[in-house]
Amino acid sequence: MQLRRANAACGFARATPRMKVAMVRAAIAQGADNFKITASPDLIPDGPWIKDSKGNCCSPKGFKATGAYCGLRSSGVKADLAIVVCDVDAAVGGTFTTNVMCAAPVLYCKDVMARKATSRVVMTNAGMANAATGDAGYADAVETVKLLSDAMGIPADDILVQSTGVIGRRMKMDAFRTAIPELVPTLGSSIEDGRRAAVAITTTDLVLKTAALKITLGGKEVTIGGMCKGSGMIHPNMATMLGVVTCDAAVDNAVWKGMMKRASIASFNQITVDGDTSTNDCVIGLASGLAGNAMVTDAGSEDGKKLEAALTALLQGLAKSIAWDGEGATCLIEVLVTGADNDADARKVGVSVCGSSLAKAAIFGGDPNWGRIAAAAGYSGVQFNQNNLGVQLGSIKLMENGQPLVFDKPTASKYLKDTCAVHGTVNIHVIVGKGPGTGTAWGCDLSYDYVKINAEYTT
């Protein structure tokens, strides 16, 4: 099977233009092999919203999507090009990597969004990151946009792009030139169309990551949906992950942009798998306004708060699915921090604990070594009185008011081992004082497989 998939990719690269068109059409028409991946569990937190366990970016009104294998991956025949389209001009908000070596598509999106408050399309490719590719890489991004612009008959500035894959590799422009005109006619608004897009953006992901939920604003049903990818090279400040969020609420452009930023801080910026911040991190949110609700013009209004809370919950569900699917992971780690001076400090401590290689390795091994958790809280950069520190693993208190407690180590070890055995969630509570600040971060354990996956990533 692996040899056949490798041969398929090589065959596409060497095929004549007419053969490439035929291969893309065949992949679009059949494609069973191209979408073989299961879905992540539903990890949206509970709240005053209705979860849609099968929903995705096609769930809100006014959105279509598609995805297919287009010969962009170096091996295999998994779908590798996705398009999400809004029927109307949509309010757009986005957050991007802080890595100085940001990729060409990130630079392109920043340029477009600096001059335009709306957008209609997000196109995402797997197979190559188009990062560290210089001016030529930026030109490739511009050309892919033009290809899609021509195929759809819309202005280029209505299109945003994302890329994921190996850093330093130029885009396979021949494949884009062949595939884009063939892919556009397959756009559809069904849940299956959204699923195809979600599969197409994955790389080392073992599961596809989609989510959707519904709320009511002024008597009108509003839906928020989305998809994301990410498994390794994950660390806060938008880190390797890509996401597309769709929403049908009527919301002011500036208000939506602010909501997307704050929701990302409380979700995608609170996950870590390996401490590496990617060159390509990007989450883009589109709001069509087709739900029929009264325009949300104030984030502090009742409707504004409801919309932002739901958006944050959706993004947290997607972010947690990335950490759950961390490369080689056997569990999701959720760290709740309380007692900090403010929420920002609490979030910082949580990320530090989730990012500790020693703590992650101990969890994988079923070792309740709480000292590693305490140490990670201590080097987080947040000042607190160590005599206030408390650590709890599940329901088991390990440390209180800065003092170690006698606890049943076999029981604590069993909690870790049993949770990892079912790929569940290890809950850690860290108390750093008596302040009002709270925050949550998510990560995963560190297994032998993480090293194996990344030692062989390009080979």
- What's the token pair of residue 175? 């494949």
Exposure on the CB side of residue 123, measured as CA atoms within 13 A: 27
Per-residue pLDDT for 6 more than 50?
A: no
Q: What does the mean pLDDT of the chain come to?
A: 91
Bin 81: left if φ > 0, else alpha if -120 < ψ < 50, else beta: beta
Question: Is residue 73 a contact partner of residue 30, using CB atoms and an 8 Å limit?
Answer: no
Characterize the bridge pairing of strands 38-39 and 207-217. Answer: parallel
Report the distance separating Cα 176 and Cα 174, nearest Å. Answer: 5
- What's the token pair of residue 10? 């090589």
| 301-353 pLDDT tens trace | 999 999 999 999 999 999 999 999 988 999 999 999 999 999 999 999 999 99
Per-residue pLDDT for 219 more than 80?
A: yes
Predicted confidence band at 399 (pLDDT cuts at 50, 70, 90)? Answer: very high
Q: Which residues contact 380 (CB under 8 A, 6 or more apart)?
A: 348, 349, 351, 352, 353
Report the distance separating Cα 98 and Cα 240, nearest Å. Answer: 11
Q: Which residues contact 33 (CB under 8 A, 6 or more apart)?
A: 5, 77, 78
Active-site residue set: 240
pTM: 0.91
| 92-107 pLDDT tens trace | 999 988 788 889 999 9
Mean per-residue pLDDT, 137-164: 97
Distances (CA, A) of 1 to 5, 11, 37, 124: 6, 15, 15, 26
Q: Which residues contact 224 (CB under 8 A, 6 or more apart)?
A: 60, 212, 213, 214, 215, 245, 246, 247, 249, 310, 311, 314
Mean per-residue pLDDT, 105-116: 95
Per-residue pLDDT for 74 more than 60?
A: yes
Residue of 146, 94, 91 lying closest to 119 (CA atoms): 91
Residue 7's pLDDT is: 41
Per-residue pLDDT for 236 more than 80?
A: no
Residue 246's pLDDT is: 98
